[in-house]
Amino acid sequence: MVSPFGTVLIANRGEIAVRVIRACRDLGLRSVAVYSESDRGALHVRLADAAVEIGPASPSESYLNLERIIGAAQEAGADAIHPGYGFLSENPLLAEACLAKGITFIGPPAEAMRAMGDKVRARQRMQEAGVPVVPGTDAIVDESAALAAAREIGFPVLVKASAGGGGIGMRAAHDEEELRAAITSCQESAQRFFGDPRVFLERLVTDPRHIEIQVLADSRGNTIHLGERECSIQRRHQKLVEECPSTAIRPDTRQEMGQAAIRAAQAVGYVNAGTVEFIESRGTFYFLEMNTRLQVEHPVTELVTGIDLVVAQIKVALGEPLPWRQEQISWRGWAIECRINAEDPWHDFQPTPGRVTAYHQPSGPGVRVDSSLAGTGMVSPFYDSMIAKLIVHGDSRDQAASRGRRALREYLIRGIITNIPFHAALLEDPDFLQGRLTTEFIANHPDLLETAGEWRDRQPQNLAHNSGQAQHVAAIAAAIAAAK
């Protein structure tokens, strides 16, 4: 039996912490923010009903410190924890610690996290549940076994971390020489980032799209899907632009993928919001992984379905049944999200932390901005470079893209360089506008940087132009942080 709660601690920072605080306020719940030393003046700290400092700027000593998160919840009298995304959000130890302390975890059971967190184990579970998976292997034990498996699967192949996600460590190999190097590289990355050097192989799907399905499940056995999101616009396996729906998915395919996602969730006893990711090519799709948390790109689904996913998460955690049946879910219009990052596109997208000296975010019909900024302030060098999400909605994809271009022209961020011009170039690109997308889109469109530079030069008020200035600001920010 789920116990009701009245105070939610948000174990995160930035725009997602702000998003959860707003959902709590909509539901009449008290919110508690946590913050590191470098986030004392952050927007999420100012918006929450209470705030607890949890340590130095380093994530390992603050936002990733499980004991301090639980201690903060106890200190603030929080009887629930929402993990957001990133940090501890997919760590089953947090869910277990909440259970041990009588705190409601607003997320899936620890067992479901573990089942989907191990990619090899997840592949096996999905095959048993009748969910299509890319031809591949279990965890490989040595190089000779990998070479034999690759010959059987057929080159090219992908080498992936068994315990990983987000594309970290993933390497493609087109022959045996590349495979040897890819295994070594992936194993080293897997050990460094996940503490687990195991890797496995999958066939490399050509001309792939990255399509994900949003699912919701309650504690009473009800599971529904909210359709697909197109996430193919990526750079080094990190998403930049997402949209809902996808130009590649017909209604019958949406139904087929949605039912596969539901089977995937039910196979591991999933509860709360989650995302099942697929690779799609020429009408065929395969299971990739399941993200056992809220996604960065959840707003595009919210705008098209009209369902507040964060409120739904909290209500499920309160023990309420889902108020929708699958046949009640409908999709209206089109939504596109651009991740606004403090990065320099003309210098290999290096992070550009520093002080924002002027800030104005766009508005108007069909425009939503989820941001960690509400004015001037520091962008910390210690955390992810994403500072906002621009989400636009229209009756059609063309209208959504047009509103996106309008909104990007209205953005004003001075003091640091951002990727706003790169997004503007994307939303003007003929192939993008025609929906001709694959995960190699950015690599296959090197002219985007030139177009972004031309757009930047036409919009001098929008951002600092000189990358040397951005590097200077970043150096100052790092020096200030190191002196604290």
The question of whether 293 is a catalytic residue gets the answer: yes
- 297 & 401 share domain: yes
Supply the pLDDT for residue 469.
46
Supply the pLDDT for residue 460.
59
Q: Which helix (H) or strand (E) holds 185?
A: helix 176-194
Number of domains within the chain: 3
pLDDT band at 465 (very low <50, low <70, confident <90, very high): very low
Supply the pLDDT for residue 481.
43
Last residue within a domain, chosen from 158, 178, 203: 203
* 37 within domain boundaries: yes
pLDDT digits 0-9 by tens, 382-403: 999 999 999 999 999 999 999 9
Stated pTM of the model: 0.89
- 246 & 188 share domain: no
Whether residue 261 contacts residue 301, with contact meaning beta carbons closer than 8 Å, is answered with: no
Supply the pLDDT for residue 2.
61
pLDDT digits 0-9 by tens, 270-292: 999 999 999 999 889 999 999 99
- 372 & 249 share domain: yes
Last residue within a domain, chosen from 203, 235, 255: 203
Supply the pLDDT for residue 461.
55
* 117 within domain boundaries: no
* Cis bond before residue 197 (omega within 30° of 0): no
The SS3 call for residue 340 is strand
Percent with pLDDT over 90 in the chain: 83
d(CA 176, CA 182): 10
Whether residue 450 contacts residue 396, with contact meaning beta carbons closer than 8 Å, is answered with: no
- 415 & 291 share domain: yes
Mean pLDDT over residues 88-113, rounded? 97
Mean pLDDT over residues 13-29, rounded? 98
Answer whether residue 208 shows pLDDT above 60.
Answer: yes
* 141 within domain boundaries: yes
pLDDT digits 0-9 by tens, 340-358: 999 999 999 999 999 999 9
DSSP character for 98? H
* Calculated CA dihedral for residues 458, 464, 469, 473, nearest 10 degrees: -160
Mean pLDDT over residues 427-451, rounded? 97
Supply the pLDDT for residue 459.
80
Answer whether residue 187 shows pLDDT above 50.
Answer: yes
d(CA 162, CA 172): 15
- 298 & 389 share domain: yes
- 222 & 190 share domain: no
Mean pLDDT over residues 82-101, rounded? 97
pLDDT band at 121 (very low <50, low <70, confident <90, very high): confident
- 183 & 61 share domain: no
Supply the pLDDT for residue 142.
82
Whether residue 353 contacts residue 478, with contact meaning beta carbons closer than 8 Å, is answered with: yes
Q: Which helix (H) or strand (E) holds 290?
A: strand 284-291
- 149 & 260 share domain: no
Buried b (16+ CB within 10 A) or exposed e, 374-406: eeebbbbbbbbbbbbbbbbbbeebebbbbbbeb
Choose between 234 and 193: higher pLDDT: 234
**Pairing state between β 412-414 and 223-235:** unpaired
- 231 & 161 share domain: no
Residue 189 sits in a domain whose CATH number is 3.30.1490.20
Residue 229 sits in a domain whose CATH number is 3.30.470.20
DSSP character for 268? T
pLDDT digits 0-9 by tens, 53-90: 999 999 999 999 999 999 999 999 999 999 999 999 99
The residue written with tokens 């999400």 in the block is: 389
pLDDT digits 0-9 by tens, 153-175: 999 999 999 887 667 889 999 99
- 195 & 326 share domain: no
Partners of 335 in the beta sheet?
244, 393
- 353 & 370 share domain: yes
Task: State the catalytic residue, choosing from 19, 293, 403, 456.
Answer: 293
Whether residue 285 contacts residue 132, with contact meaning beta carbons closer than 8 Å, is answered with: yes
Answer whether residue 366 shows pLDDT above 60.
Answer: yes
Supply the pLDDT for residue 472.
46
Whether residue 244 contacts residue 306, with contact meaning beta carbons closer than 8 Å, is answered with: no
Q: Compute the radius of gyration of the chain from its Cα atoms.
A: 22
* 2 within domain boundaries: no
* 158 within domain boundaries: yes
* 298 within domain boundaries: yes
- 198 & 214 share domain: no
Q: Given its phi and psi angles, is residue 437 left (phi above 0), alpha (psi -120 to 50 degrees) or beta?
A: beta
Whether residue 79 contacts residue 104, with contact meaning beta carbons closer than 8 Å, is answered with: yes
Residue 70 sits in a domain whose CATH number is 3.40.50.20
**Pairing state between β 238-244 and 272-281:** unpaired
pLDDT band at 112 (very low <50, low <70, confident <90, very high): very high
What range defines the domain where residue 76 resides?
A: 7-106
